[in-house]
Amino acid sequence: MDGQAIFGAIEAGGTKFVCSVGTDNSIVATTTIETTDPEETVARACLFFDKMRVEMGCIRALGIGAFGPVQIDPSQSNYGCILETPKPGWAYFDIRKAFMDRLAVPVWVNTDVNCALLAEAKWGAGEGVSKLLYITVGTGIGGALMHDGELINGWSHPEMGHMLIARRKDDVVGFSGVCPYHGDGCVEGLASGPALLARAKAPLHTLAADSPIWELEASYLATLCLNVMMVSMPQKIILGGGVMQQSHLFPKIRKNFWQQCNGYLNGGISESALENMIVPVALAGSAGALGALKIAAHGYLNSSTLR
């Protein structure tokens, strides 16, 4: 660590906050706390950073990769605020201000998926590839795009989990989807971890790899991948999140992607090319933290470009 600047990072999720300290390219220490109400969660996260300051010295800046929707545009007065969310107590909570006030350091905020993509692009499955799509399939579904090193955001960050897709006719009778906004009308409502649990009514790791539930899942995720492919033509699609620990999903998704595409992309790609095009994360659990360290370091050194 000799002489290297130390930064803080938080992967702020709906179920857990993963708090880390490290340099601009490596994690030195990490702790995980449960996400409860905003005040208690912030207070407990700060106790970790207090302890790290004693052990490691000054923390220069903090990067937060937050669940969305969250204001990620530093030019906006509500930069760093969580926006509309059904998570109790979190709607419109100013997470950036809460940490700035308590820790007295500059705080940079982006989405959890944008942070994970930044890290996968630099050190992971997207290394050396210029047009990337990253999708996480966990408690929710989120996506991030990068073209030539730049994250693609519009007036807000992408919300790919709420892409409206058609429910399959062979989906489980009585299953009504889990999205509080779109029910079974969007990919998060149909294919997030909670959607799988609602159908399976059993822990997901106990489901056999040949369960029809996984075939449905692969079909919905393939639709999401294909739709984003048709919009932005990424060279690589990186899939992460708890659900994607089911590695048998990858060949199923590639097969469904190819079938749903139905020959349209034959001039540009082949079915065998999908093996290297639709791939798992390479940084496993650490991409979000590494990306959050990256935005902290980048923000600390140059506040004008990375959003």
Indicate which of Zn ion, ligand ADP, none lies near residue 138 (CB less than 5 to 8 Å, by partner kind).
Answer: ligand ADP
Cβ nearer to Zn ion, comparing 181 with 264: 181
Among 41, 52, 139, 162, interactor with Zn ion by CB under 5 A: 162
Contacts with ligand ADP in 240-279 (CB under 6 A)? 241-243, 245-246
- Work out whether 182 is an interface residue with Zn ion (CB under 5 A): yes
C-beta of 281: minimal distance to ligand ADP in Å?
A: 10
Of positions 179, 225, 229, 279, contacts Zn ion by CB under 5 A: 179
Kindly state the smallest distance separating residue 194's Cβ from ligand ADP, in Å. Answer: 5
From the list 211, 224, 210, the residue with the least C-alpha distance to 253 is 224
Pairing of strands 278-280, 236-240: parallel
Q: Confirm or reject binding of residue 187 to ligand ADP (CB under 6 A).
A: no
**Residues 196 to 215 in contact with ligand ADP, rule: CB under 6 A:** 197, 204-205
Decide: is 193 part of the binding site for ligand ADP (CB under 6 A).
yes
The three-point CA angle 265-269-271 to 5° equals: 95
Residue 205 site contact among ligand ADP, Zn ion, none (CB < 5 to 8 Å, cut-off depends on kind): ligand ADP
Contact string (CB under 6 A) for ligand ADP, positions 140-179, x = contact: x---------------------------------------
15 binds, among ligand ADP, Zn ion, none (CB under 5 to 8 A by kind): ligand ADP
Which residues of this protein are in contact with ligand ADP, per CB under 6 A?
A: 13-15, 136, 138-140, 193-194, 197, 204-205, 241-243, 245-246
